[in-house]
Structure 1
């Protein structure tokens, strides 16, 4: 551990393994790193859960139904955002496309869509919707896109520096890069501490602040806009309350989610943010 680093928190994997991981704070980067990092070969086993919602279209249980309901609304918001940031329709690469719903909606609106998804089950579901996905960025080497999106994906990627370099080469000059990630400086993160569901170790290997995001991409991109993801505080608080108390449905969770958004109106530290970058 470097002199500029220290253990910020120890967090349990509540979803799959029950193992405990440390979150290492890097003062230089203003971010948290999960430690130890599982080997690349071992990482897939930490996603082997029917409760890992982004790899399924299931509507089983209250949280799954809530997730799917909010997803329908957010898909429309996302396609509007990429249109506005790009000043029109163009080519789109969605990294970590999951079951392909975002690309399906974008395709219907006229976008030329491409995507990556390493999980075979999620990729199969996307294929059944007419969305063919690659497995990694290597499948698109030499190509460039008007817009590249990563919706809650960057925190999962083992080699952060390499991936940022690859993303830079794949975005057209003056093109757009849009990234959504959780914010460990939000009120709900501080309130729930080690129970905060968006830490989601070891699936989440990195935990970002606004400062970290701007600095990590500063070499090739200019940060144009930060959008809040207001529903994330409610969903994350529901999961966090479940981890903390065992209650699957909690009015307190809705209260904490609301309080987080209200506090963020002043602090600008929402549960999750969407970062809109322009390639320079």
Structure 2
């Protein structure tokens, strides 16, 4: 069991609402942690509201998201374990690098600055969003078909469509442009000090069938981190896609995360 009151902060990724962490929150609370799953800045409280008011997140960038969670964490009075998915996994790494987290779990993260994304599977994910430069300032939505490719390709069409109806919301387009241009930008918000020897333990998790965060890209990120003495662990689930934390197999990933936390943090 965790030490009573150990805080855990969950950070969701693009096109998913914070409430999609609900099953994890319940499980972690039962395990003795004190979980929280706040949304991104400007994100409405419910999925329905987020769909009705997409403009509330338009123009928000990665630095804005990091600053938002940093403020939440400082109010806790204690460094939490941060668990992030997709773009939220990058946010988790940024918070760990800033010593605002005791440890971090990065589920299916995008490449940080210095890691090339050469996976062909990611092109159909990003191109529909990137082809119009004005999308940088807008809130964007995925169609059910786009969601199936980017998130639900390892699922049945029925399950993917159900998850889309339940959790998909508009997201700011700016982070997509920031991530794609990370290796070209002088001051990219995807910059992490991979040589930071003082940071807490980090677990990186990849899905073998993930179109959005290809396993080879995640492995390349892990390789960069392992040049430093701080703990960096890696787990891969061969048959999983980008829907890993929200689909019917979520418990396998959550249990593996809990085991790792117990091993590394006690």
TM-score by length of 1: 0.35
> When the two structures are superposed, what TM-score results if normalisation uses the length of structure 2?
0.37
Greater strand proportion: 1
Larger-gyration structure (1/2):
1
Which structure ranks higher in relative contact order (CA pairs < 8 Å, sequence separation ≥ 6)?
2
